[in-house]
Amino acid sequence: MATTYTELLQLPKHDPKDFCDVTLFNEMADKIDAAMAKAYRGKAAHNLLINSDFRNPVNQRGETSYSGSVYMIDCWKGSAADLTVNDGSISVSRGSRDYAIFAQFTPSVQLGKTYTLAAENAAGEIILLVYTPEENMSNKARNFSTAGHNIIARYSSSSNMFYIGAASTVDTTLDLVWMALYEGSYTLDTLPDYVPNENELAKSKEYAVRTRGHGWGYTVNSTTIRLNVPVPTTLRIAPSIPAGLTFTVIVDGSAKTVTEYSVNTMDNGVVRLTLTGTGFPTARTPVVGYANKEFVLSSDL
């Protein structure tokens, strides 16, 4: 039998004679008020984080584990951290290091405004950190009940940006279900229910795109090719491309192998690569090409 709204709000159905006591009416009215207020807050509050539903995160790099100071699941970077993508959560641990930080830069955060960082761990514990960003802000932190498991807000002098995240300084893993960053000050009673942002994959692809590098282009001269690789959305800035790829280009009916390449420009949904080799035909000869494996074009912060 389907659950009714009154059951969801824990509103009992009373016998008519019960209502000689008006307090029963008032109790139900208070519960309805509280439920409606929470629903409104959930609509009004906007989670400023990207890809923060760790039950099913966007993970274009495709690994189930990451280690070190590298980008991990989309838009999140480790600092001396080990990360495992589980079924329904992620696990952050320090491994053999002194600490681990798992963080996201937050360029939308503004000085002088108040923000609430919230997180839930796999045990169902929700904690909050309310803070106001300041120039050269020192570390702000709030602990889970497990000592050494924290959520943090910091300022990075090297990148001149604020970031938030989670940290672990103990041997046990910090298992996270979600995180959220809201403008304003909330308590556990007023915090809206966590709802994943819409179009997380599309938002993530403004920072990174997974591709096989299939593209078309032309020869510039006997040593240079421009290869246009289409991307589904305009990246935040011209991306970087990983080392260790091999491109195959078909030119004048012959396949050539290229191992020297770089990003040239980005324009109108196309990332233009420069491929360098020898023995290419004369300028403006049409070319098609692709890489030997999938890779990520990264415009991460």
Tell me the average pLDDT of the chain: 90
- pLDDT of 19 higher than 60: no
| pLDDT-based confidence at residue 8 (cuts at 50, 70, 90) | low
Distance CA 194, CA 142 (A): 19
Collapsed DSSP state (helix, strand, coil) of residue 4: coil
| pLDDT-based confidence at residue 282 (cuts at 50, 70, 90) | confident
Backbone angles phi, psi at 45, to 5 degrees: -75, 135
- List pLDDT tens digits, range 23-55: 655 565 556 555 544 554 445 689 999 999 999
In contact, 72 and 18? CB cutoff 8 Å: no
- What local confidence, expressed as pLDDT, does residue 246 receive? 98
Q: Compute the C-alpha angle 243/247/251, nearest 5°.
A: 150
- List pLDDT tens digits, range 82-137: 999 999 999 999 988 999 999 999 998 999 999 999 999 999 999 999 999 988 88
In contact, 238 and 266? CB cutoff 8 Å: yes
Distance CA 218, CA 85 (A): 41
Distance CA 78, CA 167 (A): 10
Percent of the chain predicted with pLDDT > 70: 85
- pLDDT of 214 higher than 60: yes
- List pLDDT tens digits, range 65-74: 999 999 999 9
- What local confidence, expressed as pLDDT, does residue 163 receive? 94
Average pLDDT rounded to a whole number, residues 255-262: 97
Domains of the chain: 65-197 (2.60.120), 208-298 (2.60.40)
| Residue 202: CB atoms within 10 Å | 11
Single-letter residue type at 170: V
The residue whose two tokens read 């969801």 is: 8
Please list the residues that pair with 225 across neighbouring strands.
219, 275
